Chains A and B, each alone.
Chain A
Amino acid sequence: AQSVSQHNHHVILSEAASLELGCNYSYGGTVNLFWYVQYPGQHLQLLLKYFSGDPLVKGIKGFEAEFIKSKFSFNLRKPSVQWSDTAEYFCAVIADYKLSFGAGTTVTVRA
């Protein structure tokens, strides 16, 4: 069975700081990987996805993620965060139609 591990539970940073959230997965098959974001009071939204091809994928709002197969990782990055990036971020892997999520990382951006 697949599983996802997110390294940080809560990250606090200032505006304009760089963000990197770690994600490792465990799955033996071909992976499809996702990052979802949940802004306060809103529903889960897809930030970006990796299915195949270029391991560096770009998503919405300036986010990007890098798939490193040898490390079973799919880390999320943003060079310069804004206050509006305050949210909970979830890494997920899909197999057999089931999305398996990590526990999530709460990101708080201070103005």
Chain B
Amino acid sequence: DAGVTQSPTHLIKTRGQQVTLRCSPISGHKSVSWYQQVLGQGPQFIFQYYEKEERGRGNFPDRFSARQFPNYSSELNVNALLLGDSALYLCASTPPGTWNEQYFGPGTRLTVT
């Protein structure tokens, strides 16, 4: 079975630009979470979506937004990029019937110059 997939793998953007990252959950998983992992630190929670509704939001500015589509895939958008947004962005999906297990994708490496 395919795991969580994310695209693109790598991305280079300039300060002030906008970026969209994509995630497809494991088949049958209806919940998607987004995390930011800065080099040398653990992942930090950004958002969780379940059945297209935002269920939780971490301590990130409004420049960060996300949505979930009817097929349960998700997009993370970041506007007005800052150098500090350079990080690995991870997507995780949660199996139905559980709320506390998350399976991670390979991530998108975003570099802001």
Contacts and interface: CB of A to CB of B under 8 A. Distances in A.
A100 B102 CA distance: 12
Question: Which of B31, B42, B100, B101 has the largest number of chain A CB atoms within 10 A?
Answer: B42
A19 interface: no
Given A97-B55, A98-B56, A98-B58, A103 B100 contact: no
Interface size class of B (residues with CB under 8 A): 20 to 34
B16 to A, nearest CB: 29
Contacts of A42: 106
Interface size class of A (residues with CB under 8 A): 20 to 34
B107 interface: yes
Interface string A81-101: 000000000101010111111
B35 interface: yes
Interface stretch (A44-52, A54-62, A63-71, A72-80): A44-52
Contacts of A94: 100, 102
B33 interface: yes
B89 interface: no
Interface in B57-112: 58, 90, 92, 99-107
A43 B56 contact: no
Contact of A102 (B31, B42, B106): B42
Nearest to B42: A101
B42 A104 contact: yes
B64 to A, nearest CB: 15
Interface of B: 3, 31, 33, 35, 40-45, 48, 55-56, 58, 90, 92, 99-107
